[in-house]
C-alpha cells in the first residue's frame, strides 16, 4: 500500500486520461491519495474527485502565490468545506518568495488566517515553502501551529530545519526530487528524519521522479519515491510503504 499525500489530479493536464492515470496508480499499489486544491477552480475539482472516488481525499486552501486574490468569502467557503467528511487538511498554504505576484505582507496575512482557521476546525495544515524557510518557521511558531501539526510538503530544506519542523508536530514529505542524482539535501533528509515522521508524495503533475524527470508526473510514480527512501535508509520497500501510509492515515485521521 502507498499513500500519495500530495497530488494535483485536479490539474487540467489530466482532463484527457484521468481514468488511465488512476488505474495505473491502483495497479502500482497506491491505496490512498490526497488531491490538493489551492484556489476556486482547483478546490471545486478536488471536491468532485473526493466525492467520486473512495480512495481520494481533499485538502483545501489558498496558495501563497495567489494570496492577493483571496477574499473573506473565499475563506468562509473553505471553512464550510472543512465540514465535508472527505476534507482531511487545509492547504496548501505558506509563503513563496520566488514569485512576486502577491506581496510578502499579504502572503503572511493569508497564511496566518489559514492557520487560525485550521486551529478552529481542528485540521492539520499542508505547507508550501519556496525560498521562505525562516519566515515560515517563525509564523508557525507564533501562531501555535503545533496544536494542529501537518506536513512540510515537498520538503527541500536541510535536515536541521526538517528536525525543527518535526519538533513542531510536522511530518516531512518527500517527493520526486529525492530520486534526482544531484539532490543532496532531500537524500540527507531521508536519511536523518525518522521513518515515523516521513511521508511520500508526487506533487503531480510537477516534479516527476527519475527516470521520468521533466515529464508529466502521476501518482503511480510515488512508488519510485518510496523505493529511493528504502534504499537510503537500508529498509525494504514494504517497510517504507507501510510506515508512510500508516503515518498519513494517522495525520489525516483516516481509518
Ligand atoms: Zn502542490
Task: Give the C-alpha distances (Å, rounded to integers) separating 117 from 18, 82, 114, 195, 231.
Answer: 32, 10, 5, 29, 39
State residue 166 phi and psi, 5-degree precision: -60, -40
Residue bearing cell 521533466: 214
Distance between Cα 172 and ligand 1 center (Å): 14
pLDDT (0 to 100) of residue 175: 98
Q: How many Å lie between the centroid of ligand 1 and the Cα of residue 206?
A: 8
> Ligand 1 centroid to 155 CA: how many Å?
11
CA of 231 to the centre of ligand 1 (A): 25
Whose cell is 477574499? That residue is: 71
- Gap from CA of 202 to ligand 1 centroid (Å): 9
Q: What is the pLDDT of residue 239?
A: 98
Ligand 1 centroid–CA 95 distance in Å is: 13
Distance 36 CA to ligand 1 centre (A): 6
| Strand runs labelled E in 49-162 | 56-60, 87-96, 125-130, 150-152
Under a CB-based contact definition with an 8 Å cutoff, are residues 149 and 169 in contact? yes
Q: How far is the CA of 129 from the centre of ligand 1 (A)?
A: 10
- The confidence score (pLDDT) of residue 46 equals 98
How far, in Å, from the CA of 232 to the mean position of ligand 1?
25
Question: What confidence score (pLDDT) does residue 31 get?
Answer: 98
Which set of grid coordinates corresponds to residue 144?
A: 501555535
Sequence-distant contacts of 247-250: CB under 8 A, at least 24 apart: 247/171, 247/196, 247/197, 247/198, 247/199, 248/3, 248/5, 248/32, 248/34, 248/171, 248/199, 249/3, 249/32
Q: What is the DSSP letter of 215?
A: S
Per-residue pLDDT of the chain (255 residues; tens, 9 = 90+): 999 999 999 999 999 999 999 999 999 999 999 999 999 999 999 999 999 999 999 999 999 999 999 999 999 999 999 999 999 999 999 999 999 999 999 999 999 999 999 999 999 999 999 999 999 999 999 999 999 999 999 999 999 999 999 999 999 999 999 999 999 999 999 999 999 999 999 999 999 999 999 999 999 999 999 999 999 999 999 999 999 999 999 999 998
Ligand 1 centre distance from Cα of residue 147 (Å): 23
Q: How many other CB atoms are found less than 10 A from the CB of residue 179?
A: 24
The reported pTM is: 0.97
Is 111:95 a contact under the CB 8 Å cutoff?
yes
Amino acid at each position: 500500500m502507498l499513500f500519495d499525500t500530495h497530488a494535483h489530479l485536479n490539474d487540467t493536464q489530466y482532463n484527457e486520461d484521468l481514468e488511465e492515470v488512476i488505474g495505473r496508480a491502483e495497479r502500482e499499489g497506491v491505496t490512498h491519495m490526497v488531491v490538493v486544491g489551492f484556489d476556486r477552480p482547483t478546490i471545486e475539482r478536488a471536491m468532485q474527485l473526493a466525492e467520486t472516488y473512495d480512495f481520494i481525499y481533499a485538502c483545501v486552501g489558498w496558495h501563497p502565490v495567489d494570496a492577493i486574490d483571496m477574499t473573506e468569502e473565499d475563506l468562509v467557503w473553505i471553512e464550510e468545506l472543512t465540514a465535508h467528511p472527505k476534507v482531511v487538511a487545509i492547504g496548501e498554504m505558506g509563503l513563496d518568495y520566488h514569485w512576486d505576484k502577491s506581496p510578502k505582507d499579504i502572503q503572511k496575512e493569508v497564511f496566518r488566517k489559514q492557520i487560525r482557521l485550521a486551529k478552529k476546525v481542528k485540521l492539520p495544515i499542508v505547507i508550501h515553502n519556496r525560498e521562505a524557510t525562516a519566515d515560515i518557521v517563525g509564523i508557525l511558531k507564533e501562531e501555535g501551529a503545533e496544536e494542529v501539526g501537518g506536513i512540510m510538503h515537498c520538503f527541500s530544506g536541510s535536515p536541521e530545519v526538517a528536525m525543527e519542523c518535526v519538533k513542531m508536530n510536522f511530518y516531512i514529505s518527500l517527493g520526486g526530487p529525492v530520486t534526482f542524482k544531484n539532490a543532496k539535501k532531500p537524500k540527507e533528509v531521508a536519511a536523518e528524519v525518522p521513518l515515523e515522521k516521513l511521508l511520500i508524495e508526487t506533487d503531480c503533475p510537477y516534479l516527476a521522479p527519475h527516470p521520468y524527470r521533466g515529464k508529466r508526473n502521476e501518482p503511480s510514480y510515488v512508488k519510485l519515491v518510496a523505493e529511493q527512501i528504502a534504499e537510503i535508509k537500508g529498509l525494504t520497500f514494504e517497510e517504507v510503504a507501510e510506515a508512510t501510509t500508516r503515518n498519513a492515515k494517522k495525520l489525516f485521521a483516516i481509518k
